[in-house]
Homo-oligomer: A and B are copies of this chain.
Amino acid sequence: MEFINIIDYIGTFAFAISGIRLAAAKNFDWFGAYVVGFVTAVGGGTLRDLMLDVTPFWMEHVSYLVITGLALVFVLIFRKYVVRLDNTFFIFDAVGIALFTVVGVEKSIAAGFPMWVNVIMGTITGAAGGMFRDIFINEVPLIFRKDIYAMACLAGGFVYYLCIWAGLSVVATQVTAAVSVILIRVLSVHFHISLPALKSIDQTAGEAKQE
């Protein structure tokens, strides 16, 4: 359990940092930045837990509040170094969504839902926090427009089930699914792979009229 906890905390820290940074760009006060950091870190898991009808996970351990506080202190003290640490945070973040995805899938399994619900719950756990963050700072959610992000979580959920079907042990399944999420996330950013954007319908309609 201890190793999992450390990864969980690292992921939470990276998520909180990302929320606090974007809040800072909007000149939020300390409290606002803390809230945005916290929502980024725990928002996905909270939505999952509300839909699974279990107590939101962060209400059972004070650690998520504390880690978000540490992230805020970190940004306040080391602000000049935060940007230089971009690559480190990117890796932390990728490890975080990988773990969050696996945790989300397993919590949904434990609640007795079918496979496709579990995969969605894994994706929500990994990706919805960033969506809430963007709604709070009044921006169009980034995960709808940029990079492979939620898709990495979704793929990780399917890999989880592939491993189960293939008869792998629970630990091997967890590791394989998490590594898939990290690889997809890192490779898609490295090679600038992204999903195609939808063209505006009205624009297309305009073209249609010109034909």
Binding site for B on A (CB under 8 A): 20-21, 23-33, 35-36, 46, 50-51, 53, 55-56, 59, 62, 65, 75-76, 79-80, 82-84, 113-114, 116-117, 120, 131, 135-141, 143-146, 150-151, 194-202, 204-205, 207-208
Contacts and interface: CB of A to CB of B under 8 A. Distances in A.
Contacts of A20: 198
A208 to B, nearest CB: 4
Contact of A196 (B25, B29, B131, B195): B29
A50 B26 CA distance: 29
A202 B33 CA distance: 15
A25 B201 contact: yes
Nearest to A198: B24
A171 B198 CA distance: 42
Contact of A31 (B56, B80, B151): B151
B140 A198 contact: no
Interface of A is mostly: helix
Contact of A59 (B26, B46, B51, B59): B51
Interface hub of A31, A82, A113, A194 (most chain B Cβ within 10 A): A31
Contacts of A196: 29-30
A209 to B, nearest CB: 9
Nearest to A82: B201
A45 to B, nearest CB: 12
A107 to B, nearest CB: 14
